[in-house]
Structure 1
Amino acid sequence: MAEGVTLLTGAGGFIGAHLVRRLLDEGGDVHAIVRPSTELGRLSPFAERLTIHRIDLSDRLEIRRCIRGIAPRRVFHLAAETRLPPQPDFAAARASHAIYLQPALNLLQPLAELPRPPEVVVRAGTIAEYGRAALPYREDARAVPSTPYGAGMLATTEAIAMLAPRLPFPVVTARLALCYGPGQAPSFLIPALIDACLSRQPMTIRRPADRRDLIHVDDAVDALLQIARQASGRDVPDCVNICSGDAPTMEEVACRIEAMTGCPENFLPRAEPEDAPVELCSSPDLAAGVLGWRRRIELDEGLARTIAGEQLMCTKAG
């Protein structure tokens, strides 16, 4: 990895906190930009080893001042709002500019203006950018997002691609599949299912036939670090899928969680939605070929690690 300062945005989030831990374990000088309202519970175990800057990415002057003072050698841009309403409308389309595109531009411009710009910027994209594209999703396919989140993130990806010839560093977007693992917010499906089974308080699985490409957060962090290592040599494409290539149904995931937590079969009620199932599944071929990266943690192992992590947290809380 490059020597010098590493800067992260979104460090207080699920993936960001796992990445911060890895960077600190490697002995790096790590700075984090977090929103003033961000809860720092995920960062508390290693907050003393981390330099935290409470700045909103919409504040261009503060971002510029911060970046000039840090002069980072590599940057991970993970900050993004993931919990937007799923239904498309004009208000959400207008809001996406302020939520996704403007913060990215506010970050990249002062980085590009540094006397010594960073070697690489690695950005967390999303499988949701593809939407209704043909399966499995490939990086050279035409993306057709179907949600405000996917559309906003894709617009940012495309804007960065437009600016790429003018930037003095590569920007690589890692289109992440759905990540899971210890410490994820209970509003996401897998931690919600685990919590329901551990507490023996069943919740309804509303779309059991939907298929999702899932990767453990440790695999996602491995991929982000590998991109940073290689992209400084500019031999990585500007967009690469980070995924498993598999898409189990949520019914299958629920069955595994029930068995691993000692719950009876069908402990979690399944609903029967009226509309057709939705599948999200990307191809990992480019990441394997260019980065030498593939998922290491299979779903059963990843779920077992996540359940163990949740049990440990429950024990500490008790």
Structure 2
Amino acid sequence: MSAAARRALVTGASGFVGAALTRRLLADGWEVHLLLREGSSTAGLPPQGERLRLHRHDGSINQLIDIMRAAAPEAVFHLASLFLATHKPEDVERLINSNLLFSTQLAEAMAACGVRNLVNTGTSWEHYQNADYNPVCLYAATKQAFGALLRYYVEVHGLRVVTLKLFDTYGAGDTRPKVLNLLKRIALEGTSLAMSPGGQLVDLVYIDDVVEAFLMAYAQLADGTQQTPMEEYGVSSGAPLPLRELAALYAQVSGRPLDIDWGGRPYREREVMVPWHGCRGVPGWRPQVGLAQGLALFHQA
């Protein structure tokens, strides 16, 4: 099948990584169907057209099956999730609805419509202290739980799944309230910031490399080189560095001093001091954008 004829269904396109993947798929000639919740923003996405179609999900399984049937995708890229580093009791229902209920509805719709190829998104936070499974937080636990549910759809309905467990992602145009945007703000505004002692290792992968990992994961499904029907890989830079060194490199790249009060606040509960390591990467994938280059692109955007 030619690239121009390929169809993808993407969830989570309103997020930073999902939007970048959508733009890349369109650039590569795909027809892209976006599945968004009612009210999700489309800012940062190209306008709808012949090769980009938007579907709003009302929360029901029957409507989702109708959308899946209409889209008839060759592959589903599932990036939608609710991320909370820590949760409150009132957040439990939202986490379950977003990360388990909706995700399972998606797999059920694929099974009902004969769609087999799924590139799923997990998190390195499922592996606190480098354990086979030890969730940093409830968000990470819901990611692992959906992986367990997927086993049913693989065994009974023939889905073929590659799960990419992401580390920290960043890139030009990233406005998420993450540590790099804190550094960028104090660099541009000349303000000060209280931070943890800064000894935790940070594993950053530039957005272009992250998107390439998704496409290479799909290629495994498409060409049949996947070793088992259900594979998982880490998307890691392979070169994590302490937060203090990251801040120093950002100051060097931006040409601006950073006024940081190291130790001005404690490490958070279950801080990831050393990221999951020893994970398998997508076969043939290696990050191409070095950290200094990526930080420059991020700062200049």
| TM-score (structure 2 length as normaliser) | 0.88
**Do structure 1's residue 80 and structure 2's residue 81 form an aligned pair?**
yes
Structure number with the higher strand fraction is 2
Please list the CA deviations of residues 150-208 of structure 1 after superposition, one character each: whole Å capped at 9, or x if unmatched: 11111111221243211323011100111111222241111221132123233333352
Residue from 117, 121, 124 that aligns with 1:124: 121
Supply the distance in 1 between the matched residues of 2:15 and 2:176 (Cα, whole angstroms): 13
In the alignment, is the contact (CA less than 8 A) between 1:132 and 1:145 conserved in 2?
no
**Do structure 1's residue 303 and structure 2's residue 300 form an aligned pair?**
no
DSSP 3-state at the match of 1:187: coil
Cα 1:73–1:301, aligned 2, differ >3 Å: closer, same or farther? same
2:53 alignment partner AA: T
1:111 is aligned to 110
2:226 alignment partner AA: D
Which ranges of structure 2 fall in alignment gaps of 5 or more residues?
Answer: none
1:170 alignment partner AA: R
2:69 is aligned to 68
Residue from 214, 218, 222 that aligns with 1:228: 218
1:190 alignment partner AA: L
In the alignment, is the contact (CA less than 8 A) between 1:172 and 1:239 conserved in 2?
yes
DSSP 3-state at the match of 2:280: helix
Superposition map of 1:212-227 within 5 A: 212-227=202-217
1:259 is aligned to 252
1:144 alignment partner AA: N
Aligned residues between the structures: 293
**Identical-pair percentage:** 27
Supply the distance in 1 between the matched residues of 2:176 and 2:90 (Cα, whole angstroms): 27
2:156 is aligned to 166
DSSP 3-state at the match of 2:40: coil
Supply the distance in 2 between the matched residues of 1:102 and 1:204 (Cα, whole angstroms): 38
Supply the distance in 1 between the matched residues of 2:93 and 2:42 (Cα, whole angstroms): 30
Superposition map of 1:264-279 within 5 A: 264=257, 266-274=258-266, 278-279=272-273
1:316 is aligned to none
Cα 1:207–1:120, aligned 2, differ >3 Å: closer, same or farther? farther
Residue from 19, 23, 26 that aligns with 2:25: 23
Please list the CA deviations of residues 278-310 of structure 1 after superposition, one character each: whole Å capped at 9, or x if unmatched: 32423466225xx2111111211111111122x
Supply the distance in 2 between the matched residues of 1:54 and 1:95 (Cα, whole angstroms): 18
Supply the distance in 1 between the matched residues of 2:34 and 2:206 (Cα, whole angstroms): 23
DSSP 3-state at the match of 1:198: helix
Q: CA deviation at 1:85?
A: 4.9
Structure 1: 4+ residue segments shifted above 6 A: none
Please list the CA deviations of residues 46-88 of structure 1 after superposition, one character each: whole Å capped at 9, or x if unmatched: 44452111215x3212211111111111110000111x2515x
Supply the distance in 1 between the matched residues of 2:150 and 2:163 (Cα, whole angstroms): 9
Higher mean C-alpha displacement, 300-309 vs 17-26:
300-309
Q: CA deviation at 1:272?
A: 4.5
Supply the distance in 2 between the matched residues of 1:190 and 1:15 (Cα, whole angstroms): 16
2:6 is aligned to 4
In the alignment, is the contact (CA less than 8 A) between 1:245 and 1:284 conserved in 2?
no
Cα 1:104–1:234, aligned 2, differ >3 Å: closer, same or farther? farther
Superposition map of 1:90-101 within 5 A: 96-101=95-100
DSSP 3-state at the match of 2:121: strand
DSSP 3-state at the match of 1:238: strand
